[in-house]
Copies of this chain bind each other. A is one copy, B any other.
Amino acid sequence: MMNYVLGLCCIKCGKELQAEPGIYTCPECGPQDGILDVVYDYQNIKIRHSRQQLSQSGDYSIFRYIPFLPLNPETPRPNLRFGWTPLYRPPGLAKVLGFTNLYVKDDGQNPTASLKDRASAIAVIRAVEEKMTTIACSSTGNAASSLAGAAAAMGLTTFIFVPGRVPQGKVAQLLIFGANVISVQGSYSDAFRLSAEAIDRWGWYNRNAAINPYLVEGKKTVAMEIAEQLNWEVPDWVAVSVGDGCTIAGVWKGFKDLYRVGWIDKLPKLLGVQSSGCSPLVDSFLENRHWRPAEENTIADSIAVGVPRNPEKALRAVRESGGTMVAVSDEDILDAMRLLGRTSGIFGEPAGVTGLAGLRYLGSNGVIKSDEKIVAIVTGNGLKDVKNAIAAAGEPIRVDPSLQCLVEELKWRGIE
C-alpha cells in the first residue's frame, strides 16, 4: 500500500504488529486493553513533505493531510467535504469568559454536522481497501450518522446500533442516509456489546472507533487543522468533551504527529471535559485510580458513555500533555449552549459545548490564565438535538397577528 504506515503498536504492551486487514487489537492484550496505535515513517514524511508544500494545496479537507493518513492515496473517496471546518475568534464570547486569546473550532460544520465525520471518512475508505461492502458500528449517535452519510456517498451498506435514547435528529439522519438502524432498547454499553456480537456473526467491517485503530487517525486531523489555521503557533490549551475517549486521543495524536515531523515546536495542554452525570474518566483522572463504570445520566448524549471504550488512550493523552480534566453539570452545559449562541452565532449540541463549559470553569478558578491561547472544539451541531436546545433557550413570544397585541407583549417585557 502506498502510504507511510510502518505498523501498529499496542498501547499496553508496546508490541509491534503488521498493519494487515482484520487486525484491530493486540492479540496478546485482548480487545479490551490491547488498543493499537498507527505508527508512521515520520522520517520519510519529513523528507518528502513540508508546511510550505502544504500551504500550496488546494484541497481544503482532511485529505490535505494525506501523508499522515493510513490510506492509499489512490483509493476512491466519498464525495463529501470532510473537515477544514472554520476556526473562529469570537470577541463577544472571549469578553464574557475573560480570555483574551480564545478560539472556537466549529466541527459542527462537517457534512453530517459532527467531528465524527473525520473518522467515518477513513472508515469507509479503509473498508473499500479491505474489499468489504458492509460496515457496522455502535454509537451514541454522531459516529452513527457520520458513518451512514459517508457510506451512502461511497455506496456501502451499513448496520448501525444505537441506544434507544438517541435524539431524533440523529436517528433521522441515519434513516435518510439509508442505514439499517438497530435501536437497542438499553444503554450504550448494551448497544456496543450487541454490535460486537453481530460484527462477529456476520463478518461486517468494524467501525467501532476504540477498536478500529484507524479512526483516531481521522479524528487527529482536527488538531492538524487547528495548528495550520493558527499558522503553526500551537495553543496553550485545547478543550474538548470526552465520551469513549477516542476524540481527545485523536486530538493528541494529531499534535504529536506534527511535532514528530518538526512542523510544530510545542504541544498544547489538553482539557478533557465530561458531564458530572457521567464522568468515569474525569473521576479516574482526578482520583488517580483505575476507571470504574458509571451511570449515563446526562443530557449530553454523545458523551453519555458509562463504559468508555478507549479509556487508556484518553487518560494517557491528558497526562502526557500536562493538561487536566473536569466534570461540569448539565446546567453548565445548557449555559454554555446559550452563551455560545448569543455571543457568537454558533449552535452546538450539549456534548458539543461541554469542552467550552469546562474551560469556563477552569478560567473562573484560575487554572487557565486569561491571556493563554485557547481553542475550544465544538464537536457537533445543536440542530441534532433540538429538544435540549429549547430546554436551554426557552420559548418564543406568541402573539396574534396584530400590532396592538405585539405592542402590549413587548411593553410587558420592557420594550417600548
Contact = CB atoms under 8 A, between A and B. Distances in A.
Contact of A186 (B78, B168, B400): B400
B383 A153 contact: no
Interface in A188-245: 190-191, 193-194, 197-198, 201
A323 interface: no
A14 interface: no
Given A79-B88, A79-B89, A182-B406, A396 B345 contact: no
Contacts of A409: 182
Contact of A400 (B86, B185, B201): B185
Interface residues of A, number: 81
A181 interface: yes
Interface stretch (A17-25, A295-303, A336-344): A336-344
Given A183-B399, A185-B399, A86 B81 contact: yes
Contact of A393 (B92, B172, B180): B172
Given A155-B92, A183-B397, A190-B401, A172 B345 contact: no
A335 to B, nearest CB: 12
B90 A399 contact: no
A396 B178 CA distance: 11
Interface string A355-387: 000000000000000000000000001111010
A198 B406 contact: yes
A381 B153 contact: no
A149 interface: yes
A173 interface: yes
A168 B148 CA distance: 24
Interface of A: 60, 78-81, 86, 88-92, 106, 109, 111-113, 148-153, 155, 162, 164, 168-169, 171-178, 180-186, 190-191, 193-194, 197-198, 201, 337-338, 341-347, 381-384, 386, 389-390, 392-403, 406-407, 409, 415
18 contacts: A106-B111, A112-B345, A152-B344, A168-B390, A171-B396, A173-B383, A176-B342, A177-B347, A178-B342, A181-B396, A182-B397, A182-B399, A184-B399, A190-B401, A194-B406, A198-B406, A201-B403, A381-B383
